[in-house]
Amino acid sequence: MYPEKDGGRLNHETDATIKQSDAFGQFDFLGTICDIFVDQQRRLRQEFNTLILENLDSYSASQRRQFHGVVTDAGHTLKSIAGVLSAVEVSAEEPWLDTYLTAMNEGNRYYEVQYSTENEIDQWIQQGTEPAAAFWQAVQTQDEATLGFLQMEDRLYFLIAQPISRQGSHEGVLWTRLEASTLSALAMNSPVFKKVTSLVVQPEGTILYSSNVDFLSTGNLLTSLTSLSLPDDFVRKMQELLGQPRGEAYYFQAEGRQFFYSVSPLAQDWVLINFVQTPDVLIRSDHMLNIVLISGVVLIAATLLLCLSLVSVLFRKRRQIDLDQQRYTMLAQFLDTILFEYDLNQDKIEFTSNANVQFGQDKRIIRQASKNPEIKALIHLEDFPPRRRYSPQQLNEMQEQIFTASVGLPMKDGSFRQFACQYKWVFSEGELVKIIGKLTDITGQYSREQQLLKQAQRDVLTQLYNKAGEEAIEAQLKQDQRGILIMADLDNFKEINDRYGHTAGDQVLKAFADILKRLFRSDDILMRTGGDEFIMFIHGLQDAGLGKQKARQILDQIQQLRFASMPDLQLTASLGVARSPEAGTSVRALIESADQAMYASKEKGKGNVTDYAEMNANRDK
């Protein structure tokens, strides 16, 4: 009897110990789960802050890029007009210039070009404020365009001024102004921010412009920040960044709110600052955090009910949550346009529903995507890591990478539009399983950038390449050294200007440029190097007779030109031909060789064609 009692007590004690151990084990497990979700909450907040900083940095970069594009375009426009005015003998104060500027300003949404005489500038210097007088005095002493920031007519403007010089003295000034308030309009529309406060500040803190009047009350940014009772560390950090702006975004917390700001160099010694605070951020992390916390509560409750029998299920759920959260976090970075997801195991890509409207994608899901040429252009399969398990350190490095590409995709109507593609790799249990990314239509931005580039490279009168054409020729020679360069000079062109006027001379130059456009291929490079000199380059060919044949076609065409305003004009030209690699393999060597051949044509009596190689061969004889 006693042994049975002792054995029964021992069994009860053992059961109690096991239950107690199970209870402690469950509490430990619950504590581990809670720790995991607290860590997830912290990581999600970090991802949210990173998302806002990246978007603010992108917003500021777009603002600077558009501002520099407008300023550069205005500077080139002023310089081109000033060059024409300096070359002609007609006074800039005559009515024709106002008519020309009025026609040119039509349709320009950002600035208008104006002309002022030296007398008007002198009056502004005498009657204006000290900053205005200093700006216009600086303009009068420069030959190049001057950029400044002034208050005019109770508004703040960026000013660009280009003096017009004739025979060593200034005759007047071409100038334009860009209203400072358009600085915000220049940035791309952001789906992330409801309101962004933009400021233009000097390194010592003086505020030149602010979209928020609260900052203007003191006239100094550092004083305004101090008056708003913001942390001293932040004020010191801002003072440091004003001296050395890095073009980066930062954030800090004060009074229960988060503030995001970027500090970037703008132009001159100006600094561009953009401020955003959490009430002005359109996306919030609260909802995402609630989803994670609610999911955690559900999982904990299920774990308590099922205990040890559902531990394996819990771990599987945990892995799925990690993958889904990683996917959700990545998708949060792609807030606009078309989202896509590529499943490597199923070789399937799925787009959001707006793909059909954006770029004519008839199916939201495409199977056997790796065999589709358009999908290959989006995500470069050859760049994928091998299908194997990776260490945690390798995974951390690869998961942080964001890949980018720019591709042209076909539309339903047969046209092509330009898209920017960004994507990231998604791993599960150490293996690459998915690719998640976005497509953004950048056709408008791409076209504007190409237009600005074309304006910078083209001669205003003929729309042929200017000196920038030499870089294009050099690039083609690096691909293939074969090529034919033809240089042409219109004979007695100065007499045309003297006899009929510069307007008639411009008419002749345009007509000659039209002949070149008809006779040469679309990918041949046509240049006006200045005055009445032109260069034509045929890439990939070096036939000895082709260059002279093209030159004689030019000669025949120009001799047939007739003008109603110049009925007795008989045009001729002297042309020189140089072939690569015989006459040189660089653009400068070819130009020098063709120039020698062209002057040999002039010595023959003008209206002639000379090949550089033949000229040297005859000279050796």
pLDDT at position 608, please? 94
Contact between 467 and 529 under an 8 Å Cβ cutoff? The reply is yes
pLDDT at position 511, please? 95
Distance of CA 168 to the CA centre of its chain: 39
- Domain residue spans of the chain: 193-280, 334-446, 458-620
Q: How far is CA 262 from CA 42, 53, 70, 223, 239, in A?
A: 23, 8, 21, 18, 13
CATH architecture of 334-446: 2-Layer Sandwich (3.30)
Contact between 143 and 165 under an 8 Å Cβ cutoff? The reply is yes
Tokens of residue 387, six digits: 């299908």
pLDDT at position 20, please? 54
pLDDT at position 14, please? 47
Domain 458-620 has CATH 3.30.300.30: no
Q: How far is CA 158 from CA 141, 178, 268, in A?
A: 19, 5, 11
Each residue's pLDDT tens digit, 392-426: 777 777 777 887 777 777 666 667 777 788 888 88
Q: What are the φ/ψ torsions at residue 228 (nearest 5 degrees)?
A: -85, 5
Q: In 88-150, which ranges are continuous DSSP H helix?
A: 95-105, 118-127, 130-140
In terms of Cβ atoms closer than 10 Å to its own Cβ (0-12, 13-18, 19+), residue 472 is middle
Same topology, domains 193-280 and 458-620? Answer is no
pLDDT at position 7, please? 46
Q: How far apart are CA 390 and CA 392, in angstroms?
A: 7
In this structure, the number of other CB atoms found within 10 A of the CB of residue 330 comes to: 23
Q: How far apart are CA 601 and CA 579, in angstroms?
A: 17
Residue ranges in the chain modelled with pLDDT below 70: 1-30, 90, 92, 153-154, 168, 184-192, 213-218, 278-293, 295-296, 302, 306-309, 324-336, 354-363, 377-388, 410-414, 444-456, 621
Q: How far is CA 156 from CA 177, 179, 317, 373, in A?
A: 9, 6, 59, 52
Domain 193-280 has CATH 3.40.50.300: no
Determine the residue type at 398: M
b/e string for 128-155 if b means 16 or more Cβ within 10 A?
beeebeebbeebeeeeebbbbbbeeeee
User: 382, 323, 372: which is closest to 349 by C-alpha?
Assistant: 372
Q: How far is CA 116 from CA 120, 158, 394, in A?
A: 6, 17, 64
Q: How far apart are CA 257 and CA 252, in angstroms?
A: 9
Catalytic residues: 532
User: 142, 172, 178: which is closest to 160 by C-alpha?
Assistant: 178
Bond before 581 cis per omega within 30 degrees: yes
Residue 195 DSSP symbol: -
Contact between 461 and 506 under an 8 Å Cβ cutoff? The reply is yes
pLDDT at position 162, please? 84
Strand 146-152 relative to strand 155-166, pairing: antiparallel
